[in-house]
Copies of this chain bind each other. A is one copy, B any other.
Amino acid sequence: RSGEMAKLTQLIDNEVFRAYATYATIVLLKMMLMSVTTAYFRITRKAFVNPEDTASFGKGESAKKYLRTDPDVERVRRGHLNDLENIVPFLGIGLLYALSGPELSTALLHFRIFTGARIVHTFAYLIPLPQPSRGLSWAVGYAVTILMAYKVLKTALYL
Protein backbone atom coordinates (compact mmCIF):
# COMPACT_ATOMS: atom_id res chain seq x y z
CA ARG A 1 0.00 0.00 0.00
CA SER A 2 3.00 2.32 0.11
CA GLY A 3 2.40 3.06 -3.60
CA GLU A 4 -1.02 4.48 -2.89
CA MET A 5 0.29 6.51 0.01
CA ALA A 6 2.89 7.99 -2.33
CA LYS A 7 0.15 9.06 -4.72
CA LEU A 8 -1.77 10.73 -1.89
CA THR A 9 1.37 12.51 -0.78
CA GLN A 10 1.78 13.85 -4.31
CA LEU A 11 -1.41 15.83 -3.81
CA ILE A 12 0.02 17.59 -0.77
CA ASP A 13 3.33 18.04 -2.67
CA ASN A 14 1.64 20.09 -5.40
CA GLU A 15 2.42 23.75 -4.71
CA VAL A 16 -1.05 25.12 -5.48
CA PHE A 17 -2.60 22.48 -3.24
CA ARG A 18 -0.08 23.26 -0.48
CA ALA A 19 -0.98 26.95 -0.73
CA TYR A 20 -4.68 26.05 -0.43
CA ALA A 21 -3.94 23.79 2.56
CA THR A 22 -1.99 26.57 4.25
CA TYR A 23 -4.51 29.39 3.81
CA ALA A 24 -7.57 27.18 4.44
CA THR A 25 -5.99 26.07 7.72
CA ILE A 26 -5.08 29.64 8.73
CA VAL A 27 -8.56 30.97 8.03
CA LEU A 28 -10.16 28.03 9.90
CA LEU A 29 -7.88 28.58 12.91
CA LYS A 30 -8.88 32.26 12.84
CA MET A 31 -12.56 31.21 12.86
CA MET A 32 -11.90 28.82 15.75
CA LEU A 33 -10.48 31.76 17.73
CA MET A 34 -14.00 33.24 17.71
CA SER A 35 -15.20 30.40 20.00
CA VAL A 36 -12.52 31.24 22.55
CA THR A 37 -13.28 34.96 22.24
CA THR A 38 -16.98 34.30 22.87
CA ALA A 39 -16.11 32.23 25.96
CA TYR A 40 -13.75 34.98 27.16
CA PHE A 41 -16.47 37.66 26.90
CA ARG A 42 -19.13 35.38 28.45
CA ILE A 43 -16.88 34.81 31.48
CA THR A 44 -15.58 38.40 31.92
CA ARG A 45 -19.02 39.98 31.24
CA LYS A 46 -20.77 37.23 33.25
CA ALA A 47 -23.36 36.80 30.49
CA PHE A 48 -24.46 33.20 29.91
CA VAL A 49 -27.27 31.48 28.10
CA ASN A 50 -27.32 27.98 29.66
CA PRO A 51 -28.48 27.68 33.30
CA GLU A 52 -25.91 24.91 33.94
CA ASP A 53 -23.11 27.38 33.07
CA THR A 54 -23.98 29.69 35.97
CA ALA A 55 -24.12 26.98 38.66
CA SER A 56 -20.67 27.95 39.98
CA PHE A 57 -21.98 31.47 40.75
CA GLY A 58 -24.43 30.12 43.34
CA LYS A 59 -27.95 28.71 43.30
CA GLY A 60 -31.36 30.06 42.38
CA GLU A 61 -31.85 33.82 41.93
CA SER A 62 -28.22 34.75 42.59
CA ALA A 63 -27.12 32.69 39.56
CA LYS A 64 -30.15 33.54 37.41
CA LYS A 65 -29.07 37.16 36.97
CA TYR A 66 -26.13 35.96 34.86
CA LEU A 67 -28.49 34.48 32.26
CA ARG A 68 -28.49 37.56 30.08
CA THR A 69 -27.27 38.86 26.75
CA ASP A 70 -24.29 41.20 26.55
CA PRO A 71 -23.55 43.49 23.58
CA ASP A 72 -19.89 42.37 23.35
CA VAL A 73 -20.80 38.68 23.45
CA GLU A 74 -23.45 39.17 20.75
CA ARG A 75 -20.96 41.09 18.59
CA VAL A 76 -18.43 38.25 18.68
CA ARG A 77 -21.19 35.75 17.90
CA ARG A 78 -22.27 37.78 14.85
CA GLY A 79 -18.64 37.88 13.68
CA HIS A 80 -18.41 34.11 14.15
CA LEU A 81 -21.59 33.46 12.13
CA ASN A 82 -20.36 35.81 9.39
CA ASP A 83 -17.14 33.77 9.29
CA LEU A 84 -19.13 30.54 8.84
CA GLU A 85 -21.22 32.11 6.06
CA ASN A 86 -18.12 33.22 4.15
CA ILE A 87 -15.42 30.67 5.04
CA VAL A 88 -17.58 27.64 4.13
CA PRO A 89 -17.88 28.86 0.49
CA PHE A 90 -14.12 29.60 0.45
CA LEU A 91 -13.29 26.09 1.71
CA GLY A 92 -15.47 24.36 -0.89
CA ILE A 93 -14.88 26.62 -3.90
CA GLY A 94 -11.21 27.14 -2.98
CA LEU A 95 -10.56 23.36 -2.92
CA LEU A 96 -12.16 22.91 -6.35
CA TYR A 97 -10.28 25.97 -7.62
CA ALA A 98 -6.97 24.51 -6.38
CA LEU A 99 -7.78 21.30 -8.32
CA SER A 100 -8.76 23.21 -11.48
CA GLY A 101 -5.12 23.89 -12.39
CA PRO A 102 -4.66 27.65 -11.80
CA GLU A 103 -1.28 29.39 -12.07
CA LEU A 104 0.52 29.21 -8.70
CA SER A 105 0.98 33.00 -8.52
CA THR A 106 -2.71 33.64 -9.34
CA ALA A 107 -3.85 31.07 -6.80
CA LEU A 108 -1.61 32.55 -4.10
CA LEU A 109 -3.01 36.02 -4.84
CA HIS A 110 -6.60 34.78 -4.38
CA PHE A 111 -5.85 32.86 -1.17
CA ARG A 112 -3.81 35.69 0.37
CA ILE A 113 -6.36 38.40 -0.39
CA PHE A 114 -9.24 36.27 0.96
CA THR A 115 -7.35 35.44 4.16
CA GLY A 116 -6.24 39.05 4.66
CA ALA A 117 -9.77 40.34 4.05
CA ARG A 118 -11.26 37.98 6.67
CA ILE A 119 -8.63 39.00 9.25
CA VAL A 120 -9.37 42.69 8.59
CA HIS A 121 -13.12 41.87 8.79
CA THR A 122 -12.65 40.34 12.24
CA PHE A 123 -10.82 43.39 13.59
CA ALA A 124 -13.35 45.73 11.92
CA TYR A 125 -16.18 43.81 13.61
CA LEU A 126 -14.68 43.38 17.08
CA ILE A 127 -13.02 46.77 17.71
CA PRO A 128 -15.38 48.00 15.95
CA LEU A 129 -13.94 50.17 13.18
CA PRO A 130 -16.26 52.73 11.56
CA GLN A 131 -17.98 51.63 8.36
CA PRO A 132 -17.25 50.97 5.52
CA SER A 133 -14.26 49.00 6.97
CA ARG A 134 -16.32 45.93 7.79
CA GLY A 135 -18.45 46.16 4.65
CA LEU A 136 -15.44 46.55 2.35
CA SER A 137 -13.42 43.72 3.91
CA TRP A 138 -16.51 41.48 3.62
CA ALA A 139 -16.95 42.47 -0.06
CA VAL A 140 -13.29 41.77 -0.93
CA GLY A 141 -13.48 38.22 0.45
CA TYR A 142 -16.84 37.71 -1.29
CA ALA A 143 -15.49 38.93 -4.66
CA VAL A 144 -12.40 36.67 -4.46
CA THR A 145 -14.68 33.66 -3.83
CA ILE A 146 -16.86 34.60 -6.83
CA LEU A 147 -13.76 34.86 -9.05
CA MET A 148 -12.60 31.39 -7.97
CA ALA A 149 -16.10 30.00 -8.57
CA TYR A 150 -16.01 31.42 -12.11
CA LYS A 151 -12.69 29.62 -12.77
CA VAL A 152 -14.08 26.34 -11.35
CA LEU A 153 -17.20 26.51 -13.54
CA LYS A 154 -15.16 27.49 -16.62
CA THR A 155 -12.84 24.50 -16.10
CA ALA A 156 -15.19 21.83 -14.78
CA LEU A 157 -18.75 22.68 -15.86
CA TYR A 158 -20.69 19.42 -16.23
CA LEU A 159 -24.41 19.96 -15.71
Contacts and interface: CB of A to CB of B under 8 A. Distances in A.
A8 B9 CA distance: 12
A22 interface: yes
A149 B29 contact: yes
B25 A93 contact: yes
A109 interface: no
A15 B156 CA distance: 9
Interface in A1-53: 1, 4-5, 7-19, 21-22, 24-25, 28-29, 31-32, 34-35, 49-50, 52-53
Nearest to A150: B25
Nearest to A115: B159
A55 interface: yes
A65 to B, nearest CB: 17
A131 B4 contact: no
A31 to B, nearest CB: 7
Given A25-B96, A28-B149, A92-B91, A56 B156 contact: no
Given A21-B96, A24-B93, 13 more contacts: A4-B13, A21-B100, A22-B156, A24-B92, A25-B93, A25-B153, A28-B93, A32-B89, A32-B142, A50-B128, A52-B134, A80-B85, A88-B91
Interface of A: 1, 4-5, 7-19, 21-22, 24-25, 28-29, 31-32, 34-35, 49-50, 52-53, 55-56, 75, 78, 80-81, 84-89, 91-93, 96, 99-101, 128-131, 134, 138, 142, 145-146, 149, 152-153, 155-159
